[in-house]
Amino acid sequence: MNILQNITWLFYQAFTWLAARVPFVVLYGLSNAMAFILRNILRYRRRVVRNNIVMSFPTWNLGQVKKLEKQLYLNLTDVVLETMKIPAMSHDTIAGRFTLKPNPALRGYCESKQSLVIVSAHFGNWEWGACAVPEMVEPLESVGFYKPIKNKKIDASEKEIRALGGTQIVSMFNTTKTFNQRRKIATAFFMIADQSPSDQGTAIWNKFLNQPTAWLHGPEKHSTRLGYPVFLFIPIRRSRGHYEVETTLLTDDPSKLKPGELTGLYATALEKYITQYPEQWIWTHRRWKLKPTNSKLFATA
């Protein structure tokens, strides 16, 4: 590791140590301060955020845009500090902060030990949500895919945090291998699916939040290939530190859908949640950095 990575690791350790030891009321006080600093002093990705919002909600006035900007930075710092607090929380403590909205279809698949794919997004606190997955899909085993962080020490720590609920954490670069290895093991595969893909050649395109949008092909590819049912998983913040998880069956047999159709269903469902709770999505990502060239728009969201 270079000097910058070591410094980053020390700051990460300090914040994790602090977040793990302070009560929630203090944690959210820190979050308020961090959100103000990120938005007004450091101006963290302000141009990216403004452009994302204006392009997604072209009919909004400036007051609406600024209101969402203020809310989304607070959401971001809440998620960061809540995630850093995970090592000091028991599984029961985390589970106690989640309400799982009943879904008979999901429960039926789990009880029949049918492997399935659960797609989520950078919405609410998806990190806490991942910790809630094992209980939600019992008796299935759970596997979560993630993108490794370049700083190896932080990556190892984040991987350990994400596994505290009992989910096996696997690099996204081993997705195909993991699906193949677990074909005979009843498994719920948890995938965050709203990132911008790195490979434009394999991306699936559709219209999302009023813009041509590229999507990762993995969730559709693997669920279609194996015929696994696909559910959307969204943790909605009902109050600070408390979430309700809603799950929606997107398809019971993706192999019967046209290319791009499953990704379109995901995009449409996710857009409805973002429109209803825009402050709970992460707007600081350069989500639309890829622009369509010769790619075909398979589906419209």
Residue 290 pLDDT greater than 80, yes or no: yes
227: left (phi over 0), alpha (psi -120 to 50) or beta: left
Beta carbons of 60 and 51 less than 8 angstroms apart: no
pLDDT digits (tens, 9 = 90+) for 48-96: 999 999 999 999 999 999 999 999 999 999 999 998 888 888 777 887 8
Q: Dihedral sign for Cα 143, 146, 148, 152, please.
A: negative
Residue 277 pLDDT greater than 80, yes or no: yes
Q: Where are the domains of the chain?
A: 3-300
Residue 297 pLDDT greater than 70, yes or no: no
- Burial of 44 from C-beta contacts in 10 A (0-12 / 13-18 / 19+): middle
Report the C-alpha gap between 123 and 249 in whole angstroms: 18
Beta carbons of 178 and 265 less than 8 angstroms apart: no
Amino acid at 86: I
Of residues 235 and 8, the one with the higher pLDDT is 235
